[in-house]
Structures are given as structure tokens and as C-alpha cells.
Structure 1
């Protein structure tokens, strides 16, 4: 790399430390590709160069090993300030409380316009250990505005303070609360979807299954963004992408052990929805997977299993992206195209 690119890269690291990647992605595409380095190709996929550049910047920042939940939560909050860019404006954001499995939970309602009558009940990712309403604020705003739906983001209880199945039961209770209070939320009770990313995708899948099995009101759609679906088995993608692609193998084990300290619970569909004996009769599904994600293979397997059980499913596979791409709102190109695919599907399914 020449001295000019070295200087640009140093400036990018400085900007990242100041919680801003906007100047980096304002550079010409050719410069960004040179900064990213030689293309990374694994398992027949080529990593998106703008995502590769972000990973390179992250690798140059001081490393933070996950040692305790409080430190990990701080690190995740800081990361989520870095990557979303300038959050989009919505007409109204309201702080609410919703029913959890045992008491009230904080939540945040995003209203893009007064005539939006569909709702997405959203559960944030973070391994059931990190993440909160703030870490996914920019993503919820973007979904609300781009899809034209209201979004109710739920602050479910986290491990290790509240191990499994607390988060799952909170998610089920919060979704049924939303249906019960559809009029208060300004939405049609028949147009309420459930969704989430990563661990939140796990919770959304659990809600979809358990509302059917328990005879509760069911989602109009389940939205599973690169979900964690099996806390027991390993698949090849766990080895292929064990290091260097945002979610690591060490992260997966650390989150799993804190969420399910009792290993005997891990095969239960309440935490591993891929292991459910019966997948029939579930709501329509929008499921995404990423080519450079250690959770890729379990997502693909779940998509295939849902389809084989006769369910309606749209499986959006993004071969050049990584786990967590939905939060990378600063990153142009393929990441934005994936976001557009999601919000277009939401709009056509819930608002059409």
C-alpha cells in the first residue's frame, strides 16, 4: 500500500475511534476497494469489499475480549454508535412498557406516518446477553421509514441475570400484548409481524412456533435476520467463519453458555427452534442468511425445513455479507440492497 493509502487508513481508524465511519464511506469506491485489500474468497463466496474494509478497520482497533457481561454490553453499545450513520427521522418515537413473562418491559414504538397500520414487533440481537433499545434504534427507524410500518422494539430481559427461557417467554408475552393492544398502538391486529436479528431472530422464531402450539394469536409474518436456531449442533459454517467476520466461534460459545447455563435445556425448541419436531402451520417467513456468517448453515437448514413442512417462505441469501449486516447502515452497496429487499418485502406483505 502506498503512503497516501496508509494515511487514509490511519485517518479512518481515528474516525472510527471517534464513533464515525461516515467520512470513510464518502471516499471514492476505488479508494475504498484499495483500502480493503485483496479480495477474500471462502467457500465459493467473495466478501463484499465495503464490508471487508469495515472488518479491516475493526481489526486495527483495540481488541476487547469478552470477560463479563457489563464490559461486553459497553463494547456493543459503542460499536452500535459507530456503524449506523445518521439515524433517519420518523414522525414519532414513543417510550412504552409492555407485558413480559413476569412484569413490565421497556419498549419503543416507531411511527413513520399516521396512516401506517401494520406493526413489526422487533427483538434486538446480541446473543441474549448484550444489546438494548439504543443499540438497534437506527435499524428500527430505517425499517419503519423504508417499509412504512410501525415498529415496536422490545427490551426483553438478558442473560446471565435472566437465563433461558426468560427471554423467550418475555418475547411471547410481549407479542401477545401487542396483539391485545393493537388499537392502542394504532395498528390492525391482523397485520402484526414478529422479527429480530441474530438472537432476536431466534426469539422471533420461538414466538412464531409457540403461538401456534399454545393456541395464541399468531404473527402475520415472521422476519428472521441471520437467526441463531440451534444451540446444540455444529455445522461447517461455524468452522469456515470462526474468526474475523464479526461473530466469532468464541462469541457463540460465550453467549450460549450465559444464556443456557443448564445444557439440558439446549435441545428444547424454546431455545433451539430448529429442533422442533413439528414445523407445520407456521406463519409466512422472511429469513435471511449471509455467506460469511458462522450461523449461515443453520439458517439455510431452517429455511429448507420450513419449506418441506409446507410453510410459505422467502429465503434471502446474501453470499457476500457477514453476520450483523443489517446494522451496518453506513456501509453502501450490497448491504443497502439487502436492507431494501427486506423493507420491500415487509411493505408488500403487510401493507399491500
Structure 2
């Protein structure tokens, strides 16, 4: 008897579905997910919409927002994964790489992906340049998320490939130094050095020096905000655009969204404190704008900003507050709150619906802003 690809795919879908609806089989799913490969969840999201909605469970509504049902289904699957021990940094880093493999999707084929080194604050840093088949003169210098402790070029590889392809720009992803090996403000200084190096070498990449943007998600969004501020203060070349995706902006204050979404939505309160304590073991540095850019005294003169926040993110309120503060300082700000999404959604791009819509909106903005001679 022959078995078609369609039969195999259907079987995987039914297996995942049965595991989700039968709690007694949770242990089997945990074992399977412990050794996941790229695209492991693709069959799940090929199920009919009605089936996915049923598997996701009753709608989750908090603070006037309704969680995207496909993202809710992913959270249910993630809940069956073993938790990363927060006492072991190496295991936490490996855990994030595993989660990213679950939802990475098929890697985009580009014209070229090149490993290289860039200037850091104290020596060279690893980096990866993504060049799409058709590119304008724009370049995005990107800093990955992960609380300044986890994350690397590989965890955000699929996202950077897709963004370069969809926006039609080059993307330079920078592997800045992580805590606790390199506490604050090392990552910030690395980011500033890497961005200015990229502007200096833009022509070497086929990009225009005046069309170099800076961006990042979560902790990377924090670094991108710091770069934009410090370029003004240190009289360095300004980014054409600062892209702050659900950024962490204040390591001192606390806002209501931290309590509303303290558990169950990818980034938890325990995670936030763990990352903060590793990145800033000296509490005295937390109020420095190099660490908490929301606490800067003067926001005038900063480059245009594209800021996204997520409705189910404990960092939502500080992102909203920073967008408002930038606008009050006369900065050109586009602020998009993706009300149905959670923290970390850029790495969930292969999911249908709201996560894909957020990715498309970001790619469109980069394409519009960084259009220039190829």
C-alpha cells in the first residue's frame, strides 16, 4: 500500500489534534516536542479554521482585547513543553532555540546570506547579512530579542529572511554580547558601535548610507531605542528609521500591563525579573537611559519611529508610553498596537491571521521608508 505526502500530513495533523484534546497523551507530545525540527507545527495550522478554533478553547478576553485564536492554540502547545530551568543560562538559551524551531516555517531563499563580523564596543561581533533577490538601497541593522540574555542569530534567522524578502531591503542581524557574561551597558555600546559601523560600510553592502535604519524586538527594541537616542547625543549619523517591536524600555518602573499579563502569555513576570537581574546585576545602572531609554530627559531630535506593542504583553504599557512621549517631543511616530497578539510575535510569523498581518505591516513600512536606488 502506498502512502502519499497528503496522507502523512493528514496523519500528523490528526496526531497533534488528538494529543491536544486528550490530556492523558500530554506526555507523548512533550517527548515529541523535545526533539522538534523546523516546521514541526506546520501540519497543525493546516487544519481547518473551525478545528483550530475548537482546539484553542474558549476565547480569552482581557482588558478589552481578545487573544488571536491561532496564537492561543500555540500557547496551549507551548504549555506542554518542558520549562527551561531559570537557574541555567545555557539551557534557557537552548530552550529558546527549540521554541523558535517549532514555528520558524520554511526558511526563505534569498539571493545571498553572508556571515561576517562587525565592529563592537570592544572588538568584533558576529553578524549575518541578508540580501533579497530584489533590493532597494535600504538596510536595517537588527538586534534580536531575548532579554539581553538569550537569543542569537539563529533564533531570529527565519524572521530576518522573511523581512528582507518581503520588504525588499538588506537586513544586517548583529550578535551583540549577552549577559550575564557581559552585563549592561555592554549590549547597548555594542549596538551603537555596530550601527555606526554599518553606516560607514553601507556602500560596501550595496546600500545607501542615508537609508540605514535600526530596529529590534523586545530587548533588541530597547537597544534600537538606545542607538537612536545616543546617535543624537553623541553627534553620530542618525538612523533613517527606528523600529521598536514590543520594546523593553524601563527597568525601573512598573505599569498595569505587568500585572494583567504576568502569566501565560509567553513573557512572564518571572522572566522579566530574571532577565533584568542578569542584565543589570547592579541596580544603580537601571535608571541610566543607556539601559532604560524611556527615562531619558530629552527626546527631541530623534529620528522617525515605527513602534509596535501587543495587547497581551506585560511590556505593552511602557511601549505605549514611549510612543506618546516621542510624539510629545515632536518626533514623527507611527504606533501600532496589535491588540490580539502577545510578546514575541515576530518569531511567530508563519502563523496565519494576526501575526502575519503584523509582519506584513512592518515590511510595508520598511519598504516605503527605505526605498532608494538599488
Q: Same fold (TM over 0.5)?
A: yes
Alignment of 1:190-339 (within 5 A): 190-339=210-359
> Partners of 1:4 and 1:56 in 2: how far apart?
12
**What RMSD over aligned residues (CA atoms) do the two structures have, in Å?**
1.6
CA contact (8 A) 1:13 1:57 kept: no
> Partners of 2:63 and 2:30 in 1: how far apart?
30
Shift of 1:113: 2.7
- Is the aligned partner of 1:65 residue 2:65? no
> Partners of 1:48 and 1:222 in 2: how far apart?
27
CA contact (8 A) 1:12 1:24 kept: no
Which residue of the partner structure matches residue 9 of structure 2? none
Shift of 1:278: 0.1
CA contact (8 A) 1:224 1:285 kept: yes
- Is the aligned partner of 1:21 residue 2:56? no
5+ unaligned residues in a row in structure 2: which ranges?
1-14
Shift of 1:184: 1.0
Equivalent residue of 1:337, what SS? helix
CA contact (8 A) 1:21 1:330 kept: no
Which residue of the partner structure matches residue 209 of structure 2? 189
Shift of 1:31: 0.3
Q: 1:157 to 1:45 in 2, by over 3 A?
A: same
TM-score (norm 1): 0.96
5+ unaligned residues in a row in structure 1: which ranges?
none
Equivalent residue of 1:96, what SS? strand
Alignment of 1:154-173 (within 5 A): 154-173=174-193
Equivalent residue of 1:283, what SS? coil
> Partners of 2:254 and 2:275 in 1: how far apart?
15
CA contact (8 A) 2:118 2:194 kept: yes
CA contact (8 A) 2:29 2:80 kept: no
Which residue of the partner structure matches residue 112 of structure 2? 92
TM-score (norm 2): 0.91
Which residue of the partner structure matches residue 365 of structure 2? 345
- Is the aligned partner of 1:128 residue 2:148? yes
> Partners of 1:326 and 1:186 in 2: how far apart?
26
- Is the aligned partner of 1:143 residue 2:163? yes
CA contact (8 A) 2:16 2:44 kept: no
Match for residue 110 of structure 1 among 130, 141, 151 = 130
CA contact (8 A) 2:142 2:215 kept: yes
Q: 1:321 to 1:12 in 2, by over 3 A?
A: farther
> Partners of 2:88 and 2:224 in 1: how far apart?
26
Deviation track 1:173-227 (CA, whole Å, cap 9, x = no partner) reads: 0000001111111100000000000000000000000001100011000000000
Match for residue 74 of structure 1 among 94, 116, 133 = 94
Shift of 1:115: 4.4
Deviation track 1:266-301 (CA, whole Å, cap 9, x = no partner) reads: 000000000000000000000000000000000000
Which residue of the partner structure matches residue 56 of structure 1? 76
Equivalent residue of 1:281, what SS? coil
Aligned residue pair count:
350
Shift of 1:30: 0.5
Q: Which has the larger radius of gyration?
A: 2
Which residue of the partner structure matches residue 61 of structure 2? 41
Shift of 1:65: 2.9
Equivalent residue of 1:223, what SS? strand
